[in-house]
Structure 1
Amino acid sequence: MIIVPILALFAVLSTLTVFLHYTLPTPVSSLRALESTNKPMFSEEHAVSVMDKLSTGFGYRIVGTKQHVDAEDWLMTELQKYEGVHTFNDGQGDVQVEVWRQIGDGAHRFDFLSSVVWKKYYSMSNLIVRISDGTDASKANSVLVNSHIDSTLPSPGAADDGAGVGIMVELLRILTSPSATRKQLRHSVVLLFNNGEESFQDASHLFITSNHTTVPSIKAVVNLEACGVSGPELLFQAGSDEMVKAYSKAPYPFGTILANDIFRTNILLSDTDYRQFVAYGGVSGLDMAIVGNSYLYHTRKDTVPYVQPGVVQHFGENVVAIVDYLTTSPESRLPSITETHRTQMPIYFSMLGRFFIQIPAAPYRSLGMVMTAVAMFQIQSTKRADGHFSAGFATAMSMLGFFASFLGAVLASNVQALIMTKVMNRSLSWFSHEWLPIPLYGPPAIVGILLAQLLVSRTLKTADRPYLERATLDGCYLMSALLLTVLNAFGIGSSYLFGLGGITYLAAMLVNDYALVGWTQIEKREIAVNQRMHWGTYLILTFLPSLVGTEGATSFLDLFVPLTGRTGEVSPADHIIASIVSSLTFLCLPVLLPLIHRFGPDVQRRTVLFFLGISLTAILLYSDESLQIFDETHPQRLFVHQVHNLSSGEWWMNLGGADPSPTAILSGLADEAHQRFGIRDGGVERVEMSSYNPDFDVLYPVSQFITPYKFRLPTPEAEEQNRELSRWLAQDGSDPTASPRSRGFSIRAVDDTIDYTAGTRSFTLTISHPHIIWSVLAFDAEILEWDLPVSPPTGGFQRHHIKEVSRFGQDEWSVRMLLRLQPDELSAAAAAADRKEGIVSRPDFGQLLQIDPSNVSDNVLSRFTSLKESDSGSPHRLLVDYSGLWGEAMYPSVEQASTDQEVLQSVGVRRFREMDKWLLEERPEVDAMLLNVVAGVGVV
């Protein structure tokens, strides 16, 4: 009967936790907010109207497109409505609003896991708003609030990051509105509406590295992001104790230092503008994001109808409270905020979506020492009082059992994952709901915990085994204290979980021994070995873990389950989720460790067999192939690059998946696509993804996580093929004064010199890209110097990727390089008839290598070799893969954005129109990114 009250309490507390976690504030209408004169009110309706205008009115705001610029122009007009001085005559000073548009060029290095990409950006833009009381004192110190206007491929970006933009516009309205509780702006607010985050954070880099008048005043940043469309926004990065204190003022806190620790590991394969502000500005801050239902993150369904009501209200009210504290409160230390070292960060976590606990670093370290001291006292007391039960040995074995149970849980769940992926071939079987992994991987975790405890019990004499029920409390407390102390020494904030565990075990021990059982009877040794632990103690053991564990389960599963749909084929998704579920099971159910020792061997065996049976049943149920892994609201992401190869004249369809689902799903989709769109005498090829695969270079380095398939497409009839080629080929490439548009999509080397003595080549690689956005160069070379702000990579001859983004209408970019000539190039140069010494200037040169695909012996390398050996070439020529997106022909945005019949009736758009119709009708579980890519191989 003891199981009933434990289960009842756990059910009540976990249900309450889940309910409060997902409960969002009621959205406030624009009218109600405007009529409020006592206290400023944040209006979700107003913020959502901005989101809707951006995502529906302008749609896909990809950097380099006209929609991108149009959205910025519209927002600039909206912001200028607030420009000027707002006078209130309430004794709290005026409010001055200043508005700027910043446009500039720049370059930076972007690291993504083990890959490095070099970025150049041209005419990147920001809209900047400063809100102050008009005095120099107010303007001297600012908090920066940041969001981004642009959206990503292929998403209209209502939440990401229309929500952030809408919240900031509403914040601007609130700060310029009269109210009875208005306070003077002791410090200013700088709103940064950056217009280039999805292109690897170019616009935020531009701002924080510029000499804009507001930059020196920036003391802290609050970054607003979204990787989901529902639930509470999460604080997943905090940079200082003062900023954590500022977050504690939020009415609906949801954050934990555990999220901070996890995000630092880069396991989430995600990044935000926050990186640029910290790296280049040295500022501290808060990084906050909507994270619920991230199945729709970076998909077509990131639209207002899919954004949960109350999400923006929740996010917005928190932001308003944080900014209000930093800019108006006398307690604010904004002018002196600096980045806090990881080991000095306070411990913080939220509970029930209402309470925020913050413990400074020094007192928290003291907690570890206190727990250690109590642990030593407890060992002595237990050994003295329960020595006749072999208490010392039982406690030592219980400490071992703590570790063994955790490892057993993780191991058993991973064995289940191995069966699901390798035997049943049903990886991601749980993907369609965040909580579905629990029935699959929770029961085997319980089996692992119980088996570990049964093994521990075999180390004791039969007569003393019941004492393990009480000894387990001591063992678990001692292990919690030990782990807290060790992790504290390394400055790992997530150690607070062991602190909470230790407090739970200590409370259970004290209540059990002093209130429920009675210390006098214990010392007199009047308590039987099987009565040493009162049943009421289990309610204490259940209380805090039910709250913290359930909140952790909700948060982790909401974040990680959808994430596995975009971590790549090689990611061990089932094992990751199995490890998370087993760890959460151990965290939520510490009650299992002592409870199993309360019963005899028969009950213990039946309990293990019961959960083993559930585990096997779950395998059978989850292996049912009639159950879809993906569906319309939990889609499979499909990257589709229709590549027009200028070198061969061929058209290729490249399909890529980013998930580790059973191979048959993606390969079957590729086969279907080939049957509908491919040439009949060709087949689908599974190709290797590496830095030498140029098919997805536009997405590099994210492309390294894509599983690629490709097949040939029919070549258009001669007249149409010529029309398609003429769009990209140079009209007059020989004229050095020709405009970038007349040069077509091409590359060339200018200001080219060879230093035969030093063995180097210096030149400017210039890329003309009319109608092309997000162009990328990939080549092999040993770069000694270049005009990027970061030194070129060391390590000699290697593969390089240089990417570009430009504002709409910017058609040319360049990079200056000094290359070391390789030994074979120097030898060939020495053997050439016209060899020279010293520095020799070379004429501008750039040539598209064109091959005959019907001739097997005619390929890029043979043409390149022939060119170097010819009079028009030279041994030092560089082979470059270059590609980019046809910005006007991205699908489906082209249908909304373009009225140009030449674009709408082009080969690529017509084919995508047909393909999109097929996918929507027959494969609605697929969310496709349909991009027309133009590529070629050039020599410079």
Structure 2
Amino acid sequence: MAQSDAPPVLKQRHPTHLPSDTSSTVLHDVDDDTLSHTEEKKPLLTNKPLPTRHLLKAAPTWLYYIGFLTLLFAAAFQAHYTLPAPVSELYNPTTGQAQFAEGNVRRIVKHMSEQIGYRIVGTEQDLETQTYLLAEIKSLEKQAEMQALRGVDGLPKFETWVQVADGSHQFDFMSKAVMKMYTNMTNIIVRLSCGPECDKNAILLNGHYDTTLGSPGAVDDALPIGVMLEIIRIMSQRPAPKMNSVIFLFNGGEESLQDASHSFITNHELKDKVKAVINLEGCGTAGPEILFQANSRPMVEAYGRVPYPHGTVMGNDLFATGVILSDTDFRQFVEYGKLTGLDMAVYKNSYLYHTHLDVEEHTEQGLPQHMGENTLALTTYLADNISLEDLDKTSSVVYFDVFGLFFVMYSMKAATIAHIALGLLALWTVVIGASRPTFRSVGSVFCSCIAALLMPIITASGLQMLGSSMVWFTHEWYSLVIFGPLSAFGIFLVQYVAHDSKASHGANELSTLSGIQMLYTIALVLGTSVGLASSYFLAMYSLFASIALIYNHQRAQARSHGSGAQNVATATVAYGTYFVASALQTPYFTYLAFSLLDLVVPLTGRTGVDAPVDNVMAVITGFGIFSFSPAIMALAHRFGHKVLKRILVGLAVAQLAILLISSATLPVYDIMHPKRVLIQHLRNLTSGESLLHVAHADPGPILPYVAEVEAIFNAKATFRSGSQHPDDWNSVYPFSQFLDSYVVDTTTYIRAHTTNKTIANSDKPLTELIEDAPKLVAENIQYDSLTGIRSMTVLCTHPNYIWTVSSFDANVVSWSLNIPVPSKEKFHYVVRNAGGYRSDGWRLDLSYHVEDAAVGAEDRLRVELTAMETEGFGKDTERELKGSGDIGVLRQIVKTRPNYVTLTYFSSVVSTFHL
């Protein structure tokens, strides 16, 4: 590393016999920003602790800097969460032109999420939604016609399609292979164009109108539907697109594992016209919409023209790792349509995502305006200005917004050149003496980083021992308070140990600041070498550290000139250097950190009961504390061991107090940050059991709620492991792999509450009284004794049931699914079927190897069939036994739900067939 410079030229009143290496001289270099004019001229040649007056000077030094950081934090908060003012007028009062109006979007969202409600594929609400959307589209077409009648020329051609199709595709998710079938899957399509010339190429805007099982889906995904309808209203009353048509896909089956988007991109007549896609999604209810996936440089460049840019390639890289257990229709368009495009979503406050609380009133004011104006600007630009032919498909592009004010985008090649330049800049600062890293200082910074990440795990362990896991869950910033002190303790502890008592405080400061620069520069080189686009983040840290060191070097030279020395820099750090180092780096990281916390903290509520969420949040918080202002590690050396020791004691005491207070006072959940509980009333037609399964989606407390369920049904719950009973939750496969159950037998409850005396007094299983249960039959059975292959046609009928799931083990040779058989060996197959309203059956042709040739044609295929009832889903009802009276099991569950719990509930039946 860099060698120390020669000592400064001192005035004659100081001793003349000085060591030649200032790194071994203990100089208390508290610079002219901290000490008086007289004191700044007197380096103190002593190894003794600082005098009391110098200790007192430490307090304002720290306070000023912490105050500055607090202001930067507040500025980043304001930039991150500010949304545009909502607009209510449909037309600009000055120009008379149609403008994007949040009020109009909210009208649509409110109707879909509250008047229609839970829009599950296959239910009556599914059909009602289609009728509503077609009526809205027809109204928009008439409005455009009225504009034409008023003499407005050049309006776009307005076309509408309704697609109803069957199909199949393989959906790999959560390390599981799911074979998807769909029947009567419905899409509604609108195209705006200038005619044949524009029709050659199209931009596709996609949003889904269906909802998942537990939610009325205001933001997921009625909001994008409302945004798309509003854009149709505006664009249909403006001059037609100049270069490309715009296709709006209102798809009817995303929550059933992306069936409708697959249907469009593989079957519809317009599929080959589409060259780029903008997918709109929602997994939160507040904050700005974010660009979180992109695979095309021209599309990213186009996004840079939106009025409120918000997105970073770091989200792209994070999503690609698979850590985020979510997926969108964007996958289908890329995989089957080979499209380039953008994936945009609402993500903040995802506590309400896929819950009964995702309603219009919880959608933040300004959010629809933000998403709408961005999408309108992006769509208009693409339609008028971009050639969609041969769009390059690449992930080698760096992009990020700067506080939502403007957007930066450049190629990975340009990034590599820039990063090389930053590396050379760092080396240059070493050559001129501005940077003085040592192996000790670089190592201490690295160890501080590790300590910052790992030390908070001690706090996480403490929470778990106190039975207070996840007490940080109700507010994203709680994790900073709960885990932050011990993370900072780890940082300063390493610096305390690494402080070189043989060198001056100033030398310690400068070498540590230089170590920060070197560590980030080394990390930058490594990230760039593997083509990591997110390495731009490391580049910022390397750059700002170099700038700060150059600033400090200039200040040191100025002081040397003032004292009569020529071009000599002392081993000190000017106080202003810390402000320079943090001025841009800290607010930008804070801006990004808000996004990370907004995404991750609510996500811990749905990652499974075995996820080590306390440890995860401890490590993430540690990363945030370390990255917030790394220069603070250098500042920690400014007043020596004694001040550092006091800081460590203060942090340790604060951490202990916070741990005890938070574990004793903070609730894990509340009304707006609820615990996710899954309820399934499962009737097994083969075994005769009628069981209520209660599962949860996080490692937080569940037993208090289980006790409430036991009291409702006057029955004791038994624990049932998901690993030992993997088919219990087949209705929601592959999510089922995370679900352990507490199971309550509801038979006694049903018999006690029925008005039908036959049911009450009968010893027969209640499941025998269920009518129109789903059935499987095999037809056209054939067996080839030479090949050992058995073939059949499997027919399923499921009147008034939806979302059937068939599971079986077989060595499949061929089938009628439009999917390659995934294995040449015996394999566990799970085939999920979803269909539109009144899709009451399906067919599957199947051939498989018989295991035992002696059995031959009698080697029957064992299939377990699960189907979901159409009742429930927000209406608090379920199918009951004929003449049984008011015995609804789910009705009681919903009625007695505590306010800290949100339910995903449904009734299923399961049967075993030997075909």
Give the TM-score taking structure 2 as reference length: 0.88
- Counterpart AA for 2:229: V
Residue range with higher mean Cα deviation, 791-800 or 650-659: 791-800
Residue matched to 1:807: 836
Specify which of 234, 253, 260 is matched with residue 174 of structure 1: 234
* 8 Å contact kept, 2:91–2:97: no
Residue matched to 2:776: 747
Residue matched to 2:13: none
**In 2, Cα distance between the equivalents of 1:418 and 1:151?**
38
Residue matched to 1:592: 632
Residue matched to 1:866: none
Residue matched to 1:511: 551
- Counterpart AA for 1:566: R
- Counterpart AA for 2:914: V
Residue matched to 2:425: 374
Kindly state the Cα deviation for residue 218 of structure 1 after the two structures are TM-superposed: 0.9
* 8 Å contact kept, 1:187–1:327: yes
Residue matched to 1:837: none
**In 1, Cα distance between the equivalents of 2:90 and 2:680?**
48
Alignment of 1:773-788 (within 5 A): 773-788=802-817
Residue matched to 1:282: 338
**In 2, Cα distance between the equivalents of 1:827 and 1:402?**
71
**In 1, Cα distance between the equivalents of 2:121 and 2:230?**
24
Alignment of 1:259-278 (within 5 A): 259-278=315-334
Kindly state the Cα deviation for residue 893 of structure 1 after the two structures are TM-superposed: 2.2
Residue matched to 1:560: 600
Kindly state the Cα deviation for residue 724 of structure 1 after the two structures are TM-superposed: 6.8
Structure 1 residues 891 and 217: alpha-carbon distance in aligned structure 2, compared to 1, 3 A threshold: closer
* 8 Å contact kept, 2:311–2:399: yes
Percent identity at matched positions? 32
Residue matched to 1:738: none
Residue matched to 1:443: 485
Residue matched to 1:740: none
Alignment of 1:502-901 (within 5 A): 502-515=542-555, 517-518=557-558, 529=571, 532-624=572-664, 626-661=665-700, 665-679=701-715, 683-690=716-723, 692-715=725-748, 716-717=750-751, 719-720=758-759, 725=767, 728=770, 744-794=773-823, 796-822=825-851, 825-829=852-856, 874=858, 876-887=859-870, 889-894=871-876
* 8 Å contact kept, 2:690–2:766: no
* 8 Å contact kept, 2:802–2:867: yes
Specify which of 366, 371, 390 is matched with residue 336 of structure 1: 390
Alignment of 1:327-366 (within 5 A): 327-329=383-385, 332-340=386-394, 342=395, 344-345=396-397, 347-366=398-417
Whether 2:894 is the aligned partner of 1:912: answer no
* 8 Å contact kept, 1:644–1:652: yes
For residues 373-421 of structure 1, the C-alpha deviation after alignment (integer angstroms, 9 at most, x for no partner) is 2222222222xx89xxxx5xx5332222222111110011222222322
For residues 538-580 of structure 1, the C-alpha deviation after alignment (integer angstroms, 9 at most, x for no partner) is 1112212321121122111111101100000111111111111
Structure 1 residues 153 and 757: alpha-carbon distance in aligned structure 2, compared to 1, 3 A threshold: same
- Counterpart AA for 2:348: G
**In 1, Cα distance between the equivalents of 2:411 and 2:360?**
40
For residues 38-73 of structure 1, the C-alpha deviation after alignment (integer angstroms, 9 at most, x for no partner) is 554210111111111111111110001011011111
Residue matched to 2:104: 46
* 8 Å contact kept, 2:555–2:574: no
Kindly state the Cα deviation for residue 140 of structure 1 after the two structures are TM-superposed: 1.1
For residues 634-689 of structure 1, the C-alpha deviation after alignment (integer angstroms, 9 at most, x for no partner) is 1111100011111122210100100011xxx312322321232154xxx3221111
Kindly state the Cα deviation for residue 4 of structure 1 after the two structures are TM-superposed: 2.4
Structure 1 residues 474 and 781: alpha-carbon distance in aligned structure 2, compared to 1, 3 A threshold: same
Residue matched to 2:366: 310
Structure 1 residues 585 and 633: alpha-carbon distance in aligned structure 2, compared to 1, 3 A threshold: same
**In 1, Cα distance between the equivalents of 2:833 and 2:640?**
69
Residue matched to 1:118: 179
Residue matched to 2:25: none
Whether 2:915 is the aligned partner of 1:937: answer no
* 8 Å contact kept, 1:151–1:161: yes
* Local SS of the residue matching 1:695: coil
**In 1, Cα distance between the equivalents of 2:769 and 2:838?**
16
**In 1, Cα distance between the equivalents of 2:501 and 2:710?**
69
- Counterpart AA for 2:661: L
Structure 1 residues 904 and 493: alpha-carbon distance in aligned structure 2, compared to 1, 3 A threshold: farther
* 8 Å contact kept, 1:95–1:132: yes
* 8 Å contact kept, 2:292–2:344: yes
Kindly state the Cα deviation for residue 878 of structure 1 after the two structures are TM-superposed: 1.9
**In 1, Cα distance between the equivalents of 2:656 and 2:620?**
20
Residue range with higher mean Cα deviation, 709-718 or 150-159: 709-718
Residue range with higher mean Cα deviation, 428-437 or 545-554: 545-554
For residues 75-105 of structure 1, the C-alpha deviation after alignment (integer angstroms, 9 at most, x for no partner) is 1122123448757699973311100000100
**In 1, Cα distance between the equivalents of 2:236 and 2:882?**
45
- Counterpart AA for 2:629: L
Specify which of 59, 68, 86 is matched with residue 117 of structure 2: 59
* Local SS of the residue matching 1:598: coil
* Local SS of the residue matching 1:575: helix
Specify which of 414, 436, 455 is matched with residue 457 of structure 2: 414
Whether 2:8 is the aligned partner of 1:8: answer no
**Structure 2 gap segments, 5+ residues each:** 1-59, 752-756
Whether 2:241 is the aligned partner of 1:205: answer no
Kindly state the Cα deviation for residue 360 of structure 1 after the two structures are TM-superposed: 2.7
* 8 Å contact kept, 1:196–1:202: yes
**In 2, Cα distance between the equivalents of 1:783 and 1:907?**
46
* Local SS of the residue matching 1:551: helix
* Local SS of the residue matching 2:399: strand
The CA RMSD measured in Å over matched residues stands at 2.4
Residue matched to 1:425: 467
**In 2, Cα distance between the equivalents of 1:504 and 1:183?**
47
Kindly state the Cα deviation for residue 807 of structure 1 after the two structures are TM-superposed: 1.1
Residue matched to 1:37: 95
Kindly state the Cα deviation for residue 164 of structure 1 after the two structures are TM-superposed: 0.4
Whether 2:384 is the aligned partner of 1:291: answer no
Whether 2:382 is the aligned partner of 1:326: answer yes
**In 2, Cα distance between the equivalents of 1:488 and 1:906?**
68
Kindly state the Cα deviation for residue 519 of structure 1 after the two structures are TM-superposed: 8.2
- Counterpart AA for 1:131: L
**In 2, Cα distance between the equivalents of 1:807 and 1:424?**
49
**In 2, Cα distance between the equivalents of 1:320 and 1:76?**
21
Kindly state the Cα deviation for residue 336 of structure 1 after the two structures are TM-superposed: 3.2
- Counterpart AA for 2:448: S
- Counterpart AA for 1:431: F
Residue matched to 1:300: 356
The count of corresponding residues between Structure 1 and Structure 2 is 842
**In 1, Cα distance between the equivalents of 2:107 and 2:206?**
19
Kindly state the Cα deviation for residue 372 of structure 1 after the two structures are TM-superposed: 1.6
Specify which of 252, 274, 287 is matched with residue 195 of structure 1: 252
* 8 Å contact kept, 2:155–2:236: no
Whether 2:291 is the aligned partner of 1:235: answer yes
Residue range with higher mean Cα deviation, 412-421 or 604-613: 412-421
